[in-house]
Amino acid sequence: MGTGVQAVAPPPPETARAVVAAGDVAPGTPLAEEHLEEVELPQDAVTWSPVGADALVGRTVAVPLAAGDPVTERAVLPDGRQVPAGQELVFLPVLDPPVLQAAGSGSTVRLIERETGRTVARRATVRGSVAPDPESPDAVGGLWVALTPEESDAVAGAGGAATGLDTPVAVVLVAPAGKGAGALGPDDPEKSDDSRTKVAG
């Protein structure tokens, strides 16, 4: 009889269930079951917080998704938020945490190019915010802002680079008239924007 060494197969790698895009999905699309696919991935490859498909159906896609891309909370708007007709949804990185706390969903903001002082969006509505991901240094926090196509182009063309707590675009929160410059919140479109508070974002 032989005395060969018997090979022992290594245990299978641990996996985690994740939801990915079943195909290409454009921003502004309400997610349906056919847009989503649940897959098993190596646990080490799942560096985000997985979300179940049931929690994603009906949510509005905020970023372009390609087939196989993970669908996470960062890829969709907060529940119930929609992209207004005739507008585009733009993610504006905000590196200063107090700005994210102040600019809540429904607030109106003015966007100013830091390099030139030019207003690139006079009255834009915040549709949602994203907190920084502490597990991914590249996943900065920011605001989802509804802009016209012309405003989107202007924001995209804003000069300068992000340094420290500065980004190329500064955020100015527009306060509802009659509540004082320090009272920030959802904007009343019937009121003047004379009362506003600037924060570095």
User: Does 190 score more than 60 pLDDT?
Assistant: no
Q: Which of 1-15, 90-104, 144-158 has the lowest mean pLDDT?
A: 1-15
User: Does 181 score more than 70 pLDDT?
Assistant: no
- What is the structure's pLDDT at 99? 79
Sorted by sequence, the CB contacts under 8 Å of residue 80 that are 6+ apart come out as: none
List the beta bridge partners of residue 186: 107
Is 15-82 CATH 3.20.20.70? no
DSSP code per residue over 27-63: TTPBP-GGGEEEEEEEGGG--S----HHHHTTPBB-S
Q: Where are the domains of the chain?
A: 15-82, 83-176
For residue range 24-45, what is the model confidence (pLDDT) as tens digits?
A: 998 778 899 999 999 988 888 7
Q: Say what the pTM is.
A: 0.57
